[in-house]
Amino acid sequence: MVPQNFGKYQIREVLGQGAMGAVYKAWDTTLNRLVALKMMAPSLSADRELKIRFYREAQATAQLQHPNITTVYDFGEVEGKLFIAMELVNGGSLKELMAQEISFDRKVDWMIQVCRALAFAHRSGIVHRDVKPGNILVNADGAVKILDFGIAHLDSSDLTQTGTCLGTPEYMSPEIVRGQKVDATSDVFSTGIVFYELITGRKPFHDQSLTDLMHKIQKLDPPPVSTIAPSTPAAIDRIVAHMLQKDPARRYQDLDQAADDLKELQTDMILERAER
C-alpha cells in the first residue's frame, strides 16, 4: 500500500522498490517542488549503527554539488522511518536505455559524464560502491545523473551475518568479492563493467552460479570489446581494459584520466569525419 503522506511530503506514485527500500515521486509541501523520496527499509531504520551511518553518509552526500550527480535536498526520520529526498530526474536509467538503439557518439558522451561525476565524488572522499546501470539516469537533455552516492552500501553490516557480498554481483570489483577494504579504484572497475555492457550489450562477467561468477571477476579477463562490437575503436578496448585490471594499482587512479582519454577519442572521431 502506497502511503499518502509522509511528514511534509505528499506521495504521488511509486518509482521503484528494492532491498534498500522504496522510492516515491512526492511533492514537498514546504518548498513546493517534486522530489524523489527514498524511504529506507524498516530493517535499516531499526538498526542504531546503520542509522548513525545513514546520517553521516547523507550529510556527506548532500555536499556533492555536481551537474551529473543527483542533488540531495533533505534527509531525516519520520515516524521511525529514515528517508532521503533527492532531485527528481525526468528520464530513464542506463539499464532501460541499453535496450534501445543508441549511437556510439552518445554512448561516449555518457561515459565521459559518468567519469567526471565519479571523479568529483572521489575527490570529495566518497566512494559509491554500487556503480551499475540502474544507478545511472539520463535526463531528457542527455545529461547523466548518478544516484545513491554514499547510501548504496549501508547494509554492509549484514555481511558477517549472512555471508553475502554487498552490491550487485555482476558489477562488483575483485576486492569487494574478496571482502577487502575498497577505495575509488573499486568504482573504476565497476564503471568499466558498465561501459563494457553499454558498448557490447553484454556483461563482461556473467554466470548462473554466484561462486563461478565471483571466480570470473577475480581471475578471468573478458574478451576485448572490439571482438563483440567489431566497429569499436581500439581506444575503447584500451580504456575499458585499463579499468578492468584485477590489480587496483594498475587501473586508472583517477577517472578524470579516463574521461580525458574518452574526450580525446571523441575529438579524433569528429576530426576524422571532417576529413572525409
Q: Tell me the residue type at 19.
A: A
Share of the chain residues as helix, strand and coil, in percent rounded to the nearest 5:
45, 20, 35
Task: Note the pLDDT tens digit of each residue in 239-274.
Answer: 999 999 999 999 999 999 999 999 999 998 888 888
Residue with the bigger pLDDT between 202 and 40: it is 202
Within 10 angstroms of residue 11's Cβ, the number of other Cβ atoms is 17
Residue with the bigger pLDDT between 105 and 274: it is 105
Record the cell numbers describing residue 20, joined without a space. Answer: 534498500
Q: Please, what is the angle between helix 104-123 and helix 255-275, to 10°?
A: 160
Q: Is 91-271 the same fold as 5-87? A: no
Record the cell numbers describing residue 10, joined without a space. Answer: 505528499
Strands 5-6 and 91-93: unpaired
Task: Note the pLDDT tens digit of each residue in 138-190.
Answer: 999 999 999 887 565 554 433 333 333 445 789 999 999 999 988 999 999 99
Which class is 5-87 in CATH?
A: alpha beta
Quote the CA–CA distance of 211 and 165 in Å, as a whole number. Answer: 11
The set of catalytic residues is 130
pLDDT tier for residue 1 given thresholds of 50, 70 and 90: low
Q: Does domain 91-271 have CATH number 3.90.1330.10?
A: no
Q: Give domain limits for the chain.
A: 5-87, 91-271
Record the cell numbers describing residue 136, joined without a space. Answer: 545511472
